[in-house]
Amino acid sequence: MGTPSLHRRHTPDGTAYLRQGQGEPIVFVHGVGLNAEIWAPQFADLAVDHDVVAFDMLNHGGSARTSGPADTLALHIRQFDALLDHLGLESAHVVGHSMGALVSMSFAAAHPMRVRSLVALNAVWCRTPEQSEAVIRRADEIAAVGLADSFDIAIGRWFGSPVPEELAEAERTVRRHLSTVDAAGYGRSYALFARSDRALVETMPRLAPPALFMTGELDPNSTPAMSEAMAREAPHGEAQILPGERHMMAFVSPQRINERLRDFWVRTRDAHRRQALASGESC
């Protein structure tokens, strides 16, 4: 499930990205430890009639590494904003997964006019004290246990333990992506992810774009309750919980996810047209 026809390009400030297709622009943002290539199934389907972009977050893939005492969401927002400027895109549909969903939601809150619609896949929100303790402990232990053990634990959460036979090929591909990660960068990014689940509590009620919060029924850390809570908080939010799916559902079940993405975008466009007609504007 690679992206053999795609080649990374770079912005002047060091963001690596993939781009293919023509049409309405969509920007995909991957989760911690992965990279832009994880969206290969979305490129294969959606680039037929969309301008599809996926980029490596800071500290991942071919993008720049950060420095300083700690990473912040503000750094990721600036990276995203600069990428759209480089690509000549005033706005785009935005889809983020896990930490990428956190970055995407933060970007939408900071730059609402640049986000036509927002899809947050397997996003985290207001963890319980027990969940927070567990994820912060994992973040703090990365240096001690080593990346290999950390990835084994992540694979178990994402795919199930043991990994079901039908998911074995997808698991191997994801593990290959994880094996290329920069150790220091992964640690910095995971530390930010572990401590940012409440970063949008104050701004979510003012989130302007139409927003879809979608997760898997069996995702133990990006739970259905979290997506449902975000949908209630966002003014134009809705939640979809997919039966039988886990954390890597966009990669494991791309047709199922892509169909829901397309449906959401159609409904978003139709709603915009109705609003424009009602206000006497032209589409």
**Residue located via tokens 């036509």:** 116
Average pLDDT over all residues of the chain: 94
Given a contact cutoff of 8 angstroms between Cβ atoms, the answer to whether 95 and 119 are in contact is: yes
Which tens digits make up the pLDDT trace of 158-186?
999 999 999 999 999 999 999 999 999 99
Q: Are 31 and 99 in contact (CB under 8 A)?
A: yes
**From CA 230, how far away is CA 226, in angstroms rounded?**
6
Residues 258, 46 contacting (CB under 8 angstroms): yes
pLDDT digits (tens, 9 = 90+) for 186-245: 999 999 999 999 999 999 999 999 999 999 999 999 999 999 999 999 999 999 999 999
Q: Which residues contact 58 (CB under 8 A, 6 or more apart)?
A: 64, 65, 66, 71, 75, 76, 79, 185, 189
- Strand 24-29 relative to strand 16-20, pairing: unpaired
Domains of the chain: 9-279 (3.40.50.1820)
Residue 269 pLDDT: 84
Q: What percent of the chain has pLDDT over 70?
A: 94
Q: Distance between CA atoms of 66 and 140, rounded to whole angstroms? A: 18
Tokens of 219: 């995702």
Q: What is the pLDDT of residues 52-68, one digit of tens each?
A: 999 999 999 999 999 88
Q: Which helix (H) or strand (E) holds 24?
A: strand 24-29
Q: How far is 94 from 212, CA to CA, in rounded Å?
A: 10
The residue count of the chain comes to: 283
